[in-house]
Every structure is written in C-alpha cells, then in structure tokens.
C-alpha cells in the first residue's frame, strides 16, 4: 500500500512548533519509500510556506530551501484526485470524519 500524505503533514516538517516524532517518522518513510499526494499538494504547500514568510515564521531562504528539499523527494501526484472527488473521496471523508482535502 502506498503512503498518502497531504500538505499539512508536509508543512509540519518545516515548522519547529509543529514537528512531532510521528511527523518525522512519516518524513523518514517518505525518504525511503516515497509517497502519493493529491493534485493540489504543491499549491497548498507553497501557499503554507508563503504564509509563513509573510508572518515571519520563516525566511524566504527557508521557504526556498524547503521547496528544494521537497522537490527531491520521490513524490507522485495523484492525477485522479478530481475524478474521485465526488465518489471515493467523499465516502472516505464521511467514513473517517475528514475534510474532502484530507480524504483526497
């Protein structure tokens, strides 16, 4: 089974106050096994990092280094995200109490 992550997990790796042992374990797994992400992952990730720059949580250099690190990971984009939005994703959202973004 493939590991699926979203931007909130990804962003937790780059903010000291959001890092946990669990999130770092996921990062280790992504490094060794790769992961699958929803189609909006890149936009959501850069948006979160850009917001952090505006709020002075990180610097522009930190943002750029984070994006460079992320681009080196074996991340596959799920190009079927939109296709499943109103069916399988909605069902997962209902079943597990997730937002549709989280279920994607």
What pLDDT was estimated at residue 49?
A: 97
What pLDDT was estimated at residue 10?
A: 95
Range of the domain at 53: 7-79
Say how many Å lie between the first and final Cα of the chain, rounded.
16
Mean pLDDT for the stretch of residues 4-23:
94
Residue 1 has pLDDT above 70, yes or no: no
| Residue 92 maps to a domain | no
| Residue 24 maps to a domain | yes
| Residue 33 maps to a domain | yes
pLDDT digits (tens, 9 = 90+) for 50-82: 999 999 999 999 999 999 999 999 999 988 888
| Residue 74 maps to a domain | yes
| Residue 40 maps to a domain | yes
| Residue 66 maps to a domain | yes
Give residue 100's pLDDT band: very low, low, confident or very high (50, 70, 90).
confident
| Residue 88 maps to a domain | no
Please count the structural domains in the chain: 1
How far apart, in whole angstroms, are the C-alpha atoms of residue 23 and residue 68? 19
| Residue 89 maps to a domain | no
Give pTM, 2 decimals: 0.81
């Amino acid at each position: 089974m493939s590991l699926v992550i979203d931007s909130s997990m990804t962003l937790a790796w780059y903010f000291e106050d959001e890092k946990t042992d669990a999130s770092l374990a996921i990062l280790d797994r992504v490094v060794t096994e790769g992961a699958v992400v929803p189609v909006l992952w890149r936009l959501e990730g850069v948006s979160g990092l850009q917001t952090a720059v505006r709020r002075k949580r990180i610097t522009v250099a930190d943002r750029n280094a984070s994006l460079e690190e992320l681009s080196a990971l074996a991340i596959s984009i799920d190009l079927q995200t939109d296709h499943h939005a109103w069916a399988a994703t909605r069902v997962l959202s209902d079943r597990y109490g997730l937002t549709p973004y989280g279920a994607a």
